[in-house]
Structure 1
Amino acid sequence: MSNTERTLQAVSTAAGWTPDSWRARPAKQMPVYPDAGELAAVQRELQALPPLVTSWEILALKQQLAEAQEGRRFLLQGGDCAENFADCCADVISNRLKVLLQMSLVLVHGLKLPVVRVGRFAGQYAKPRSADTETREGVVLPSYRGDIVNGPEFNARARTPDPRRMVKAHARSAMTMNFIRSLIDGGFADLHHPEYWGLDWVGDAQLAEEYQRMVSGLGDSVRFMETLVGSQIHELKRVDFYTSHEALLLPYEEAQTRQVPRQWGWFNLSTHYPWIGMRTCAIDGAHAEYLRGIRNPIAVKVGPAVTPDQLRGLIDLLNPDDEPGRLSLIHRMGAGQIGERLPPLLDAVKRDGRRVLWVCDPMHGNTESTSNGYKTRRFHNIRSEIEQAFDIHAAGGTRLGGVHLELTGEDVTECTGGARDLTDTDLSRAYRSSVDPRLNYEQALETAMLIVRKRASQGAVAAS
């Protein structure tokens, strides 16, 4: 280890932190397991299992996120609101990867920037809930907190938190990662042949034609570059792909937190890029305590109730050394509040000169319930929040460096609007989410095109 590395380690190692120091802090959104001994035994089993990701992958992602902070990359983070054990199958995984690749192709082509591709999968099995219990016809049971904790069926056996589910989640995360890596290494993401990703599911002709023009343009660019260099550009045969999930179930995260040879500090080796949400981001809380000590790049969801002083405190806690690529702030305000709530936060961080990656989550602030009982999100609100976010950052002299989306590669009807103009009556046709509504493949692709058009229009205004 060099003198520089020793100095960095001395400065950056979190004081008084251990993988279990979170246990001394208030922990929200945690299930109550009936057998503490069984929980401890499962944690020991998880500690002995192989890791899901590597420290060098984590550090490579951190470098890419640092470049996104500087405007040299753009982050695309997307996937399921909550994975289900039953969806750990080839078709669901490959379709999820396919739609993210298609979106990234649109962004690469339109933004003229490399895209950091991060999936909300291979570990997104836990979900926060607004209440600890659910009542139906006078029966009170624990809330469903995701397949890693309990089952969605409304009976006492399914809803009782079961620590063995953490082992099942680890196994399915490993299978998902193995399949994704096999697809990528086998040429599934080869930019020489983006047409292989298919577009069978897009029914809107105009959307499909615009995408095909981009595919053709990218293919021409690749062939032109290879003609110039006189050989095939092999780096275009595969892409970097990273995983993320909400670090919600802390006993699981703790069991996956390890030291590795030839590296200082601790890494969460269950995912490349963990984040914490609005419900668990208290400065004195267990989740913030856990995140402050790991070397992974991390993120925090920032909602409309967060004040500039609270945000400053979180930044000081989670990134005291102002390390590039370390901290992302994912704002999720809602289309109706972003104009008022976001500018003071941007101004506070800018005045302090702190290095963060600003990311827009246009999903979670725009959830509503319909008269027929479905949770949904209106595409026009999602579009509005994205467009406003770009404008607010431009006006404030800051940079929007990415988006965070809940989406699926399946033909679902969970969010209304979009190219096919889905309505509330369409929701019952293919509503499959057990928690939150997701963009379907067509709405996801339309969102990528929206981002490109918005950035292009900003560039045209700046040049005029």
Structure 2
Amino acid sequence: MDKLEALLRPKEGQSNPVSDKMNPSDLVKLIEILDPSNKPGRITIITRMGAENMRVKLPHLIRAVRNAGLIVTWITDPMHGNTIKAPCGLKTRPFDSILEYGMIPEVPICSFALCFYFAEVRAFFDVHDQEGSHPGGIHLKMTGQNVTECIGGSRTVTFDDLSDRYHTHCDPRLNASQSLELAFIIAERLRKRRMRSGLNNSLPLPLLAF
């Protein structure tokens, strides 16, 4: 049994059957198997690879899919690959890893921590700008509560703050302030992207999935 068979056999009949690491050629084969009619909206590819890998690997995936004439929706999950263990032993996520320092010069970048998320989202948009493809969405874990689970943000959450309101039963979530901060920064990036393209409101906005 090859890798694709191993992926597909236990997942038959499911609407979202596959999650795995794969190279461009395997990705193309998998899409063709899952959606032989190449139906728009059928296939969503969620990338979870960190900012550095995003810049190196995502262009090859986009080109392979485009060259095969396949229709997919590209989404990034900047939280999955940016989980660290705090000195206190709690699992957390540095907010700054999502977007990257300097993404929007006029928006003050928060603390070290928030920039992990910044890095991956910025890389996602940069690669799609470079490849002429459409960034279709961003998947985030967030809550409207004032939790202290992800470090960083303009209302800085530090390692020492984590135990104050660490309520998650699974993965760390952005709190209300961090979520709004990220949303405004992404909105500004989208506004500038539209202005550069001269398309104003003709491009659909990427989705924010919670």
TM-score range, shorter chain: 0.7 to 0.9
- Is 1:438 aligned with 2:158? no
- DSSP 3-state at the match of 1:430: coil
2:90 to 374, 390, 395: 374
User: What residue is the counterpart of 1:455 in the other structure?
Assistant: 190
Contact 2:11 2:17 in 1 (8 A): no
1:323 to 12, 22, 39: 39
- DSSP 3-state at the match of 1:419: coil
Within a 5 Å distance, the mapping from 1:142-221 to structure 2 comes to none
- Is 1:293 aligned with 2:9? no
Contact 1:307 1:345 in 2 (8 A): yes
Structure 2 vs 1, CA of residues 336 and 421 (structure 1 numbering), >3 Å: closer, same or farther?
A: farther
Based on CA coordinates, which of the two structures has the bigger radius of gyration?
1
* TM-align CA RMSD: 2.2
In the TM superposition, what whole-angstrom CA distance separates every residue of 1:395-420 from its partner, at most 9, and x where no partner exists?
11111111111112222111111121
- DSSP 3-state at the match of 1:387: helix
In the TM superposition, what whole-angstrom CA distance separates every residue of 1:238-276 from its partner, at most 9, and x where no partner exists?
xxxxxxxxxxxxxxxxxxxxxxxxxxxxxxxxxxxxxxx
Structure 2 vs 1, CA of residues 407 and 285 (structure 1 numbering), >3 Å: closer, same or farther?
A: farther
Greater helix content? 1
CA distance in 2, matches of 1:373, 1:354: 44
Aligned identity (percent) is 39
CA distance in 2, matches of 1:322, 1:291: 19
Q: 5+ residue gaps in structure 2?
A: 98-116, 199-210
User: What residue is the counterpart of 2:58 in the other structure?
Assistant: 342
Contact 1:301 1:332 in 2 (8 A): no
CA distance in 2, matches of 1:301, 1:444: 26
Contact 1:324 1:355 in 2 (8 A): yes
- Is 1:361 aligned with 2:96? no
- DSSP 3-state at the match of 1:373: coil
- DSSP 3-state at the match of 1:372: coil
Within a 5 Å distance, the mapping from 1:212-361 to structure 2 comes to 283-285=4-6, 288-289=8-9, 291-294=11-14, 296=15, 298=16, 300-301=18-19, 305-361=21-77
Q: For residue 290 of structure 1, report the CA deviation from its aligned partner.
A: 5.1
- Structure 1 counterpart of 2:166, which letter? Y
Contact 1:301 1:329 in 2 (8 A): no
TM-score under structure 2 length normalisation = 0.77
Within a 5 Å distance, the mapping from 1:385-396 to structure 2 comes to 385-396=120-131
- Structure 1 counterpart of 2:95, which letter? F
- DSSP 3-state at the match of 1:438: coil
CA distance in 2, matches of 1:339, 1:353: 22
TM-score under structure 1 length normalisation = 0.36
Q: 5+ residue gaps in structure 1?
A: 1-24, 27-281
In the TM superposition, what whole-angstrom CA distance separates every residue of 1:149-204 from its partner, at most 9, and x where no partner exists?
xxxxxxxxxxxxxxxxxxxxxxxxxxxxxxxxxxxxxxxxxxxxxxxxxxxxxxxx
CA distance in 1, matches of 2:197, 2:159: 39
Q: For residue 436 of structure 1, report the CA deviation from its aligned partner.
A: 1.5
User: What residue is the counterpart of 2:119 in the other structure?
Assistant: 384
Q: For residue 434 of structure 1, report the CA deviation from its aligned partner.
A: 2.4
User: What residue is the counterpart of 1:136 in the other structure?
Assistant: none
User: What residue is the counterpart of 1:229 in the other structure?
Assistant: none
